[in-house]
Amino acid sequence: MVSSLIQRVDRNKKVTVEAPATVANMVCGFDILGFAVDAPFDIMSIRFSHSRGITIIHEDDFQMPLEPEKNVAGAALLAMLEELPDFGCGLELHINKQIMPGSGVGSSAASAAGAVFAANQLLQCPFEKNDLIRFAMHGEKLASGVKHADNIAPCIYGGVTLIRSIFPLDVIPLSTPPLFVTIVHPQIEVRTADARSILKQHVLLKDAIKQWGNIAGLVAGLLNKDYELIGRSLEDVLIEPVRSILIPGFHEVKENAKRVGALGGGISGSGPSIFMLSTSQSIAELVEIEMKNIFTRIQLPFHTYVTQINHTGIRIIDN
Amino acid sequence: MVSSLIQRVDRNKKVTVEAPATVANMVCGFDILGFAVDAPFDIMSIRFSHSRGITIIHEDDFQMPLEPEKNVAGAALLAMLEELPDFGCGLELHINKQIMPGSGVGSSAASAAGAVFAANQLLQCPFEKNDLIRFAMHGEKLASGVKHADNIAPCIYGGVTLIRSIFPLDVIPLSTPPLFVTIVHPQIEVRTADARSILKQHVLLKDAIKQWGNIAGLVAGLLNKDYELIGRSLEDVLIEPVRSILIPGFHEVKENAKRVGALGGGISGSGPSIFMLSTSQSIAELVEIEMKNIFTRIQLPFHTYVTQINHTGIRIIDN
């Protein structure tokens, strides 16, 4: 069926998508909860090419590798093509990255998920969303050494997604009330592998119980649109105390953000970005002012974003 | 205010309540999720007495201690009276226990919660539900050595309740789709203290992550009325593997119950009762047949109940 679809496609067709940044490890939801934001996002176009294989053209200055097997978008596309044995032509992918690699807001996930989402559209959708997640996880594995879906799933589905299980894949989109997001990206390097290696393999059962009480509270707060419960549940007693030592200014950002009205927040992914959730644009902007003041004072270069939870996921802007 | 209320009460008034059995440690929701069932339940009556202090009369054959400070209902009432310094008379409590002590379906919680709920009604409700939980936890402490609320909270609120935190107390009632419950109580003794002592103090982070993925899935499944998600999430990788060795027939009950259509289930509280959840009365009855066959074959005396989640909690039957 897939091969017959490919016979019918228009070889001049081009698909362009916006693939949004995402926040994984949503406070207490380490490894299972992530969400997409409206900005920043990568822009990517894909079309059939005359030469076989995958050709990658980066229209940004991030010096990403262009060999498909070394590029996260390429690795994801290769995984997809493995399940299309009769695919007889090549693909040309143009990537304009706007999400800075290493910032902790799902830069690799946006490239990997955006590439397979756009390619699936070009091929007239032989695959379902969960197939695309499987393919894109090959990009994540290339980037961090581990297949994980808590950036890819929200990038593809939009909104807040629960990844109950990776093997087998079980993704549950969670409805939420309006949530505004302020992100600060201090320009320091926190390698995902380092952030993972400092975690303890064992945790106290009593701390784990506290964590899963908060996770249950956060899920209930989101689904019941209960901002106060969301705020009370945004507490991570296991991961944040260990990882936050890698991020200068972390505790001050969190404290000041809550003082000006934020519900709470934490480390985005494995850092160094920090995110805070608020119930309004105006509070989210007050949080941004606090973030700017703190990183200006400690003399670290930084970027900030005031955005919202993105409920669409990857968006087709030209088809 | 409280003392003036007491002046106005009718000294001939009597309040009678039914306090339902409850299932704590709802599979993956160890220490945080519990639910009430329609049957069995304790019946309790309270009225003002001529003599000072608390008088307890047991109308059952369980040989419970009658001194208030040694009786779970008495301990809960004493905690309540401590916050009523101007209370100038006595209370007489009649208890007809139908929930067998030591069965693992919240027998002590029903006595403790029922007593303070009925007393509060008698006193024209000076206290809120969460106050009653605080008082009733003194009964749980007497029974098991630990203040916990995952039987008391569903007993008082009804339905499935999340106890996000005990100190400070944060109870969140969760709406659910209709759920039928089959319970088997094999007549063996599993002491709560023993069941607690065999748990490991430390757990693997990767197992804890699996557990909180399931908890998040279970909460989302309940709130979204998604039976399949509830079924997939009813998995406990941490507590059940350790505690189930104390309960003969446990794995066979679970396997056979799922084979005849149950969503899943696990150990009720710290055992020895086992509960299974189903989407219909007819499946719940098939599960009961399996339970009866298994415990008849392994020659352990047992009781079974086919019931539903109770959405009312403690019910006033005479006021």
Chain A interface, best mutation among B166, B212, B225, by max A CB count within 10 A: B212
Q: Output B141 or A190, whichever has higher pLDDT.
A: B141
Residues A238 and A156 reside in one and the same domain: no
Q: Note whether B202 and B266 are same-domain residues.
A: yes
Query: Chain A residue closest to B222 (CA)?
Result: A220
Which domain, by its residues, includes A184? 180-308
On the question of pLDDT at A1 being above 70, the answer is no
Contact A239, A246 (CB under 8 A): no
| A/B interface, count of CB pairs below 8 Å | 121
- Using an 8 Å CB-CB cutoff, list chain A residues near B211: 208, 212
Instruction: Please give the tally of structural domains in chain A.
Output: 2
Beta strands B90-96 and B54-58 are parallel
Nearest by Cα to A114 from A133, A141, A128 = A133
Residues of B with Cβ-Cβ distance to A34 under 8 angstroms:
none
DSSP assignments along B107-153, one per residue: HHHHHHHHHHHHHHHHTT--S-HHHHHHHHHHHHHHHHSS---TTHH
Closest by Cβ to A174, choosing from B33, B164, B220: B220
Contact of B233 with chain A, judged by CB distance below 8 Å, is answered with yes
Q: Say if residues B126 and B120 touch (Cβ distance below 8 Å).
A: yes
Domain harbouring B219, CATH code: 3.30.70.890
pLDDT given for residue A179 in this prediction: 98
B114, B15 Cβ separation under 8 angstroms: no
CA angle B34, B154, B55 (to 5 degrees): 125
pLDDT at B1: 45
Amino acid letter, A231: G
**Which residue on chain A is closest to B204 by alpha carbon?**
A202
Chain B residues within 8 A of A25 when measuring between CB atoms: none
Q: How far is A227 from chain B (nearest CA, A)?
A: 13
- Residue in B185, B211, B210, B178 with CA at minimum distance from that of residue B277: B178
On whether any CB of chain B is under 8 Å from the CB of A204, the answer is: yes
Q: What is the ipTM of this complex?
A: 0.94
Nearest CA in chain A to B214: A164
> Are B9 and B148 in a shared domain?
yes
Please give the pLDDT value at position B246: 92
Residues 6 or more apart whose CB falls under 8 angstroms from that of A128 comprise none
Q: How many residues does chain A have?
A: 319
**Within an 8 Å CB–CB cutoff, is residue B9 touching chain A?**
no
Residue A182 contacts B where some CB pair is shorter than 8 Å: no
Selecting among B16, B18, B22, B140, the annotated active-site residue is B140
Burial class (CB in 10 A: 0-12, 13-18, 19+), B10: exposed
pLDDT at residue A263 greater than cutoff 70 = yes
B174 CB within 8 Å of a chain A CB: yes
**Any catalytic annotation for residue A140?**
yes
Residues B140 and B104: their CA atoms lie apart, in Å, by 13
End-to-end Cα spacing for chain A: 22
Chain A residues in contact with B218 (beta carbon < 8 A) = 216
Give me the catalytic one of B16, B192, B304, B307: B192
**B162 and B114: one domain?**
yes
List of chain B residues whose C-beta atoms are within 8 Å of the C-beta of residue A172 = 217, 220, 229
Question: Which residues, 6+ apart, have CB-to-CB distance to B108 below 8 Å?
Answer: B72, B101, B139, B140, B142, B143, B144, B151
Q: Given this model, what pLDDT does residue B195 score?
A: 82
Question: What's residue A51's pLDDT?
Answer: 82
| Tokens linked to A205 | 């059962």
Query: Does pLDDT of B192 surpass 90?
Result: no
Residue B131's Cβ-side half-sphere holds a number of Cα atoms within 13 Å equal to 15
* Residue B120 clears pLDDT 90, i.e. is over it: yes
Does the bond joining B186 to the residue before it have cis omega, within 30 degrees of 0?
no
Note the pLDDT of residue A8: 52
Predicted confidence band of residue B3 (pLDDT cuts 50, 70, 90): very low
Give A29-78 pLDDT, tens digit per residue.
999 999 999 999 999 999 999 888 999 999 988 888 999 999 999 999 99
Q: What is the pTM of this model?
A: 0.95
Question: Predicted confidence band at B9 (pLDDT cuts at 50, 70, 90)?
Answer: low
User: Do B171 and B258 fall into the same domain?
Assistant: no
* Residues A203 and A273 grouped into a single domain: yes
Same domain? For B110 and B248 the reply is no
Contacts for A148 with CB less than 8 Å, ≥ 6 apart: A24, A31, A137, A140, A166
**CB within 8 A of B254, min separation 6: which ones?**
B264, B265, B266, B274, B276
A200, A286: one domain: yes
Q: Are residues B130 and B203 in the same domain?
A: no
- Considering chain B, what is the average pLDDT of its residues? 94
Residue B2 scores a pLDDT above 60: no
Q: Are A41 and A12 contained in the same domain? A: yes
Q: How confident is residue A3, by pLDDT bands cut at 50, 70 and 90? A: very low
The partner residue sitting opposite A164, judged by closest CB among B31, B205, B213, is B213
Question: B208 and A212: CB-CB below 8 Å?
Answer: yes
Contact with chain B for residue A170, Cβ under 8 A: yes
Question: In this complex, is the C-beta atom of B162 within 8 Å of any C-beta atom belonging to chain A?
Answer: yes
How many other β-carbons are positioned within 10 Å of the β-carbon of residue B167? Answer: 6
Which of left, alpha, beta for A267 (phi over 0: left; psi -120 to 50: alpha)? Answer: beta
A25, A164, A218: best to mutate for the B interface, most B CBs within 10 A: A164
pLDDT band with cut points at 50, 70 and 90 for residue A81: very high
A22, A161, A192, A304: the active-site residue: A192
Instruction: Assign 3-class secondary structure to chain A.
Output: CHHHHHHHCCCCCEEEEEEEEEECCECCECCCEEEEEEEEEEEEEEEEECCCCEEEEECCCCCCCCCHHHCHHHHHHHHHHHCCCCCCCEEEEEEECCCCCCCCCCHHHHHHHHHHHHHHHHCCCCCCHHHHHHHHHHHHHHHHCCCCCCCHHHHHHCCEEEEEECCCCEEEEECCCCCEEEEEEECCCCCHHHHHHCCCCEEEHHHHHHHHHHHHHHHHHHHCCCHHHHHHHCCCCCCHHHHHHHCCCHHHHHHHHHHCCCCEEEECCCCCCEEEEECCHHHHHHHHHHHHHHHHHCCCCEEEEEEEECCCCCEEEEC
For residue A181, which amino acid is it? V
Distance of alpha carbon B241 from alpha carbon B250, whole angstroms: 11
**A317 in Cβ contact with A18 (< 8 Å):** yes
Taking CB atoms and an 8 Å limit, are A213 and B238 in contact across chains?
Answer: no
Mean pLDDT of chain A: 94
| C-alpha torsion angle, residues B16, B20, B21, B24 (rounded to 10) | -120
B110 touches chain A (CB under 8 A): no
Nearest to B229 among A30, A32, A172 (CB): A172
Is residue A156's pLDDT more than 90?
yes
Q: Helix, strand, or coil here: B294?
A: helix
B195 Cβ under 8 Å from any chain A Cβ: no
Give the Cα separation of B147 and B140 in Å (integer).
6
Q: Do strands A54-58 and A90-96 pair parallel, antiparallel, or not at all (unpaired)?
A: parallel
Claim to verify: residue A224 and residue A209 sit in the same structural domain: yes
Question: Each residue of B49-79: pLDDT tens digit?
Answer: 978 899 999 998 888 899 999 999 999 999 9
| B223 vs A201, A214, A224: nearest CB | A224
Query: Which CATH number characterizes residue B76's domain?
Result: 3.30.230.10
Contact A319/B at CB under 8 A: no
Give the model confidence (pLDDT) of A88-132 as tens digits: 889 999 999 999 999 999 999 999 999 999 999 999 999 999 999
CA angle A139, A140, A146 (to 5 degrees): 130
Predicted confidence at residue B6, as pLDDT, reads 52
Give the pLDDT confidence of B253-299 residue by residue, as tens digits.
Answer: 999 999 999 999 999 999 999 999 999 999 999 999 999 999 999 99
Sheet holding A180-186, edge to edge: A264-267, A274-278, A180-186, A302-308
> Does residue A95 sit in the same domain as residue A44?
yes
Position A141 scores a pLDDT of: 93
pLDDT tens per residue, range B22-50: 999 999 999 999 999 999 999 999 999 97
Q: Which residue has the higher pLDDT, B9 or A205?
A: A205
